[in-house]
Structure 1
C-alpha cells in the first residue's frame, strides 16, 4: 500500500461555521471526498488519506459538532440530516470542488448521496462502505432506534442521550467484531470523540440521532438516483455489522447490477481492520473511473 503522502490539517469558513478538514494529495489532482460517520470524525480516514494522496486529492471534513469543527448554536445550525447534507454541499462550493468520487459510510453515506443527487454531473463514482439505504435489510441493532422513530418519547430521547458517551461510542466502534479483530481497532476513536464532548456538543449529537428516522423517506429517492444515473460504484463491506449485515451490501445490486462488490472479513469500521485491502480496492477503482 502506498502511504507516504503528507496529510494537511486545515479549516474553511462555511456559512459562518469553521469546518476543520484533513487533506492529502496535489491540489490539481482528481478529488475523493470522504464525509465521516457517527460518532467519528475525519480521524477515521487518517490512514486512508495518505494511501490515496500520491495520485488523488483526498479531502475529509469534520461535520459540525464533530472532531475539530465548530458546534454552532442550534438556532444557527439545525443538527438534522437535511442540515448536514446541505452543509456538505456548501463545503464543496467553498473549496470549489466540481468533480469527485464520494466515499459513502455510515451517516456520511446519507450526506454524500444527497450531494450526489443534487449534482449528478459532478459524480465520477461512488465507494460504498457500510452505508445502507435498504430498510428491509436493516440489522437487529436498529431495533431500539426504530422504537424511538415510531414513538419519540422523552424516555426514548434520554436513552439516546445516554449513548452519547465514551462507553456508548466504544460500543459503536467495536460493534459485532469477532474477538480476533477487536485489538485492531484504535481506542483513540472513542476516547478522542468522548474527550471533545461538552454539553452543547452532546445536545447536538442527540438532536442528530433523534432525526435519523427522517432518512427512511429518502431511501426510495436514493435508490431511484442509483437506478437512473448508474454511477460507477465500488461496494466494499464488512458484514460483521449489527446495523448493516451482508444483505445490506447485496441490496445495492438491485439498483446497481454492474457494481463491483467485495465482502471483507470485517465490520462497520473496515478501515481499522482491513485498511490495506480497502486501499488497494479503492485505488484500483479510482484508477479506472477517476484517473
Structure 2
C-alpha cells in the first residue's frame, strides 16, 4: 500500500510568500504488516447493558455463535481479573465477564438506596444473559462468583453446561478462622461489628489478598491492587461492601440446596484451587468430590487469585474441559 506524506513549508516575509517547498515521501507496508493492522477478532469489547435502570458493565469477546463462557469475579475485584484469560478463550468461545453492581465499571447506587445482595446480583447476571440472547453457558466461579453462579444454577440447572470452580465455596468446611469477624457481623449486625471489617477494605488488605500465598509476590502486578483500591475508596463504596459482607451469610443457608442440586444434575466441573488461600482454604475444595462425579480436581501452589500465577495453566485446562463438554 502506497502512503504519501506531504509537508508544505512556507516562509512569509512582510506579509508576502517568499518560498514554498513540497516534499512527498512514499513507502509500502508488507502484506504481513497489513494483516497485523486489521482488527483483532478476539479483542475484548467493553460494553454495558441497562437492567432495571442500572448500568451493568461487562467485557465481551469471541463469536456469539460459539458456546458461551460466563466469568464471575470475586471480591474486591471486577472483570479486570479475567483480562488475560478472555482473549485466550475467545478463540473458540463467546466470553462474557460482567461487573457486579457496586464493582468495576457498573453503577454504584448508595447502599441506603439499593438492596445489595447475592440474590439480586444473581438475578442481574441472569437478566444480562437474557438480554444477550444466551440460553446455555459454562461458568467460571471465583470467591463471590460462587454464590452468584450457584444461585443462577439453582434457578435453572439445565441452563448451565459446566462449572469451572476456583476458590469459591459451597461447603461449611471452607469457612474457617478468617470468617470469625464476618460471622460475628452476621449474628449481630451492629455498627461496631461492621466497622471492625473496614480494615479489610484498606490498601494493605487489598495487596495482601493478591500476594499472600503466592510463590513469587514480586511477580504479581501492582496494577491489580492499585485499581481495586481506587474503586474501594470511592465515596460510599465501603458501605456497599459492608452490605455484601452481611448478605454473604444468606449464602451459607443455601449450601445444602446447592449440594443436593449437584448430586441431582451432576454438572461436569473443573476445579482449580489455590491451596495457600486463607480466605477460601483448601478445606473448601475437597467436599465437591462428595457430590460431583464428573469432576476434574486440581490443587495449585498459589493463593486467592490463582489466575495471577497460574493463568496459562488454568486457561489450558479450561480449553480441554470446555472442548469435552461442548
What TM-score do you get using the length of structure 1 for normalisation? Answer: 0.93
What is aligned with 1:258? 294
The 8 Å contact of residues 69 and 139 in structure 2, kept in 1 or not, is answered as yes
2:274 is the counterpart of 1:238: yes
Structure 2 distance, partners of 1:165, 1:78, is: 24
What is aligned with 1:184? 219
| Pairing partner for 2:68 from 4, 23, 31 | 31
- CA 14–272 in structure 1, closer or farther in 2 if over 3 Å, else same: same
What is aligned with 1:172? 209
| Shift in Å, 1:151 | 2.9
The 8 Å contact of residues 58 and 79 in structure 2, kept in 1 or not, is answered as yes
| Pairing partner for 2:284 from 238, 245, 248 | 248
What is aligned with 1:9? 46
Task: Choose 1 or 2 for highest CA Rg.
Answer: 2
The 8 Å contact of residues 181 and 196 in structure 2, kept in 1 or not, is answered as no
- CA RMSD across the alignment: 1.7
The 8 Å contact of residues 72 and 141 in structure 2, kept in 1 or not, is answered as yes
**Relative contact order, CA 8 A, sep 6+: which one is greater?**
1
What is aligned with 1:43? 80
- CA 287–149 in structure 1, closer or farther in 2 if over 3 Å, else same: same
Structure 1 distance, partners of 2:114, 2:66, is: 32
| Pairing partner for 1:77 from 101, 111, 114 | 114
What is aligned with 2:105? 68
The 8 Å contact of residues 128 and 234 in structure 1, kept in 2 or not, is answered as yes
Structure 1 distance, partners of 2:75, 2:220, is: 16
| Shift in Å, 1:75 | 5.6
| Shift in Å, 1:113 | 0.9
User: Can you list the C-alpha shifts for 1:13-63, whole angstroms capped at 9, x where unaligned?
Assistant: 111111111111112111000111000000000000011010001110011
Structure 1 distance, partners of 2:320, 2:313, is: 11
- CA 200–61 in structure 1, closer or farther in 2 if over 3 Å, else same: same
The 8 Å contact of residues 111 and 236 in structure 2, kept in 1 or not, is answered as no
The 8 Å contact of residues 118 and 148 in structure 2, kept in 1 or not, is answered as yes
The runs of 5 or more residues in structure 1 that have no matched partner are none
| Shift in Å, 1:78 | 0.6
2:323 is the counterpart of 1:287: yes
Once the two structures are overlaid, the 10-residue window that deviates more, 30-39 or 194-203, is 194-203
What is aligned with 2:15? none
What is aligned with 1:226? 262
Which runs of structure 2 are paired with 1:100-249 in the superposition (5 Å)?
Answer: 100-175=137-212, 177-178=213-214, 180-196=215-231, 197-249=233-285
| Shift in Å, 1:76 | 5.2
The 8 Å contact of residues 137 and 251 in structure 1, kept in 2 or not, is answered as no
- CA 43–221 in structure 1, closer or farther in 2 if over 3 Å, else same: same
The runs of 5 or more residues in structure 2 that have no matched partner are 1-39
Structure 1 distance, partners of 2:159, 2:166, is: 20
What TM-score do you get using the length of structure 2 for normalisation? Answer: 0.83
- Aligned residues, how many? 286
The 8 Å contact of residues 10 and 22 in structure 1, kept in 2 or not, is answered as yes
